[in-house]
Amino acid sequence: MEKIVIEGGHRLEGTVVVSGAKNAALPILVSALLSDGTNTFDNVPDLKDVRTIKTLLADLGAKVETSGSVVKVDATGLNNQEAPYDLVRTMRASVLVLGPLLARLGRARVSLPGGCAIGARPINLHLKGLEELGAVISLSEGYIEAEASSLKGAEIYFDIVTVTGTENLMMAAVFAEGLTTLRNAAREPEIVALAEVLNQMGAQITGAGTPVIEIRGVKTLKPTSFSIIPDRIETGTFMIAAGVTGGDIKIVGCDPNHFRAVINKLRQTGMTVEQEADGLRVVGAETISSADVKTLPYPGFPTDMQAQFMVLMCFAEGLSVISETIFENRFIHVSELQRMGADITVSGSAAVVKGGQRLTGAPVMATDLRASASLILAGLAAEGTTEVARIYHIDRGYESIEKKLSQLGGKLERVNA
Ligand code: EPZ
């Protein structure tokens, strides 16, 4: 088992290049199932979750070729409609193949994803929407069995804003007869990017990025090429790395329009964030001011930045209240931060952080992707050495994070435990 060993107290400075967005790459790679011929995607990040989805696409019969950050997917030979449990349980975003398989083959057998560290994360809204399009859904032996001789456009209302639910239904509806309207749809930049790819393939989608998305069914789609958008959560993570070390860094390749809520909040804590031609210059504050945050669906403050922001608040002056409204169990990082000396009190969906604490390095354990990122951030600023175990969690969503942070002057090393 690998771990990352961090020697704290080193100020970050220099330039780092952000990778393609994991949460854009996953649905966009899956969208290749909807067309015959070769789709070419570039700026695809080399992440564990991306490797998992490529394995799944190949298992379904697609030809997948990777050369550096370019991935070609040709689903002409699509001949299997089953996403097995051993793949889905390792990455719940595998359920994204449901919509395309139903649209393309008229049937799908996908394992229910099961629970996850941060919450139950059901997919009832995905299944409800597919039924409203005319699919017949049954559950057997832990698998979703979906059949649809043909899908018909429908008006679908999401009781809860769901990112992959919106993506699944958008893809399922591209061949559905007539008009499909998704209401209370997710508005993330990754949704907009997926709609752009589908429209380049010949789909007729309007409204992506707003709460109402309309999809007019077409007969077929053709392959296309697309460059994956930059990762706004990796960017935010590096911004906070500068914040906790009093650093001065340049983040190249990010799109500030994708994370205005994060920029606004970090400026509120006293950080300097300057937009430059090719990215952002981010400078940590001499004195960090506390600020409250509430995670919300986009364009609100992203839940995927909650754990990282909590670390910054450990070094702020005064109290801050962090409310997590998206997932029911996304404070797992708190107990590990407390072992480093953080003064955090959790009450229900809110965590009260008492700033001004000196964090000291300790052996800690990652539990989920963004929690492990927060432990690395804490290690950068803590006194002494921090060892983060189970870093396979972090490799799911960050491309060589220890190399990128070391290039900025951090002292991190990946070792075999
Ligand atoms: C996506 O997950 C992201 N993953 C998550 O990023 C992100 O945290 C999340 O959106 C919220 O922004 C990908 O895009 C691959 P949801 P998703 O459906 O789509 C409830 C990371 O760290 N819900 O938007 O699974 C659900 O339980 C990951 O990169 C239902 O109740 O999240 C949650 O409380 C972690 N029924 C809320 O909605 C459903 O059918 C939002 O979940 C679907 C969702």
Strands 107-111 and 272-276: unpaired
> Which pLDDT value is given to residue 351?
98
Three-class DSSP category at 165: helix
Determine which residue's CA is closest to atom 6 belonging to ligand 1: 304
Tell me, in angstroms, the distance from the centre of ligand 1 to residue 162's CA.
6
How is 62-103 classified by DSSP, letter by letter? -EEEEETTEEEEE-TT----EE-HHHHTT-GGGGGGHHHHHH
Instruction: Give tens-digit pLDDT for 236-265.
Output: 999 999 999 999 999 999 999 999 999 999
> Which pLDDT value is given to residue 417?
75
Give the rounded percent of residues in the chain with a pLDDT score beyond 90: 92
Sheet holding 155-157, edge to edge: 155-157, 179-183, 212-216, 204-206
Instruction: Give tens-digit pLDDT for 132-185.
Output: 999 999 999 999 999 999 999 999 999 999 999 999 999 999 999 999 999 999
In the chain, CATH 3.65.10.10 sits at 2-19+230-416, 22-227
> Which pLDDT value is given to residue 123?
94
Determine which residue's CA is closest to atom 25 belonging to ligand 1: 164
- DSSP state letter for 174: G
pTM over 0.95? The answer is: yes
Determine which residue's CA is closest to atom 27 belonging to ligand 1: 121
- Catalytic residue (one of 15, 116, 210, 274): 116
State the closest ligand 1 atom to the C-alpha of 167, by its place in the atom list counted from 1. 19
Tell me, in angstroms, the distance from the centre of ligand 1 to residue 197's CA.
21
Angle at 127 between CA 323 and CA 153, to 5 degrees: 115
Q: Which residues of the chain are under the pLDDT cut of 70? A: none
> Which pLDDT value is given to residue 401?
95
Ligand 1 pocket list (CB less than 6 A): 22-23, 26, 93, 119, 121-126, 160, 162-165, 303-304, 326-327, 369-370, 397
Tell me, in angstroms, the distance from the centre of ligand 1 to residue 103's CA.
22
State the closest ligand 1 atom to the C-alpha of 123, by its place in the atom list counted from 1. 40
Determine which residue's CA is closest to atom 41 belonging to ligand 1: 162
> Which pLDDT value is given to residue 1?
84
CATH number belonging to domain 2-19+230-416: 3.65.10.10
214, 155 Cβ separation under 8 angstroms = no
Q: Is 210 left (phi over 0), alpha (psi -120 to 50) or beta?
A: beta
Q: Does domain 22-227 have CATH number 3.65.10.10?
A: yes
